Amino acid sequence: MPHRLIAFFILTASSAFACSVPVFRYALEHWAADPYRVTMPHGTKLDGNFKVTNAAVPKIELRQPLMMRNDEVIWSADFNEANVKTLLDSPARQQIAERLGAGESAVWVLLESGDDAKDTAAAKFLDERLEYLSGVMELPKLDQQDIKNGLVSVPGDGLRLEFSTLRLKRDDAAEGAFIAMLLASEPDLRGMNDPIAFPIFGQGRVLYALVGKGIRVETVDRAAQFLIGSCSCQVKEQNPGVDLVMAVDWKKMVKDQAMPGQQLPELTQIADLLPQTVKIEGEAEAKAADSPVWLDWRAGLGLIALLAAIRMLMKR
């Protein structure tokens, strides 16, 4: 087959998966997280994004999703209520979810090394660089066809370009399972003693790790550009990143962002718009006493019907 024809087929195949939606937003709406594997004692169940295996062990054993092809236990703990809670959720993950739910493009978690000077310098650099990038970078212009096709649920002016940082201590017991997931996202991270930055986006997906001196202008800018750039491939597995366990109803979050709740006014707040009674003065007053005149009654009834219809739609 001629080389130019081969190139044409490759270009066509790649273009078929391209869209104008920024990666961070497409991931939030469409890339469901892969389930982590958990081994627990017989008879126990677990809510959330897990594939549970029961075994005759008194412990919780956590492994990465099957697609990672890593059967190593990345975190284990005695089986008790406190450790189950640590597995399911943590304060840091709640903050990340809250920020992503507020529309942030990504949350950069800085896993501290324990060396105060290194950690402070890394945090200062990240804060300053991400604030700068948030001010100078621009989101891609959404294609109206992508909106019509359901690739994104919000218009272009509903997207935010914003990054934030979150510092995390390595010895924080409440974050034990979460830290284990972060360090397992790449094979050699657990042996690193420098501060590590993890950009987290979408439905709790870590892009990759920036370690120590690797936390610099070029690497941070490259990661940020990928996150806000147009999604060149809609297939999650063909994009960089590793999923994390987040106790979040992502579908509800996306729906709330796309159709934010609106507080309808109460009838008492629109009294001036409702039909009013008017007392007739003069000779006709006596005749009208038992039959007050209602002005604009058709408009009043129409307004009431409209409010009722809107309330019914919002309840769906």
Q: Classify each residue of 79-92 as buried b or exposed e, where b means 16 or more C-beta atoms within 10 Å of its C-beta.
A: beeebbebbbbbeb
Instruction: Quote the pLDDT of residue 93.
Output: 98
Q: How far is CA 163 from CA 8, 103, 104, 243, in A?
A: 37, 10, 6, 19
Alpha helices in 89-211, H assignment, sequence order: 91-101, 116-136, 144-148, 176-183
Q: Which of 243, 236, 259, 258 is nearest to 93 (CA)?
A: 243
Chain-centroid distance, C-alpha 260: 15
| Rounded CA separation 31/28 (Å) | 6
Residue 157, number of CB atoms within 10 A of its CB: 8
Chain-centroid distance, C-alpha 62: 24
Q: How far is CA 140 from CA 12, 62, 117, 155, 219, in A?
A: 21, 39, 38, 12, 21
Helices then strands, counting H and E runs in the chain, come out as 11, 12
Instruction: Quote the pLDDT of residue 3.
Output: 41
| Rounded CA separation 284/272 (Å) | 26
Q: What is the CA radius of gyration of the chain?
A: 27
Could you list the pLDDT tens digit for every one of the 316 residues in the chain?
444 333 333 333 333 456 899 999 999 999 999 999 999 999 898 988 999 999 998 999 999 999 999 999 999 999 999 999 999 999 999 999 999 999 999 999 999 999 999 999 999 999 999 999 999 999 999 999 999 999 999 887 889 999 999 999 999 999 999 999 999 999 999 999 999 999 999 999 999 999 999 999 999 999 999 999 999 888 999 999 999 999 999 999 998 887 544 333 343 443 443 444 434 344 444 444 444 433 343 444 444 444 444 444 444 4
CATH code of 12-32+88-258, in short, is 3.40.30
Instruction: Quote the pLDDT of residue 18.
Output: 67
Instruction: Quote the pLDDT of residue 167.
Output: 98
| Rounded CA separation 310/259 (Å) | 13
Per-domain residue ranges of the chain:
12-32+88-258, 267-315
Q: Is there a contact between 211 and 189 (Cβ–Cβ < 8 Å)?
A: yes
pTM of this structure: 0.76
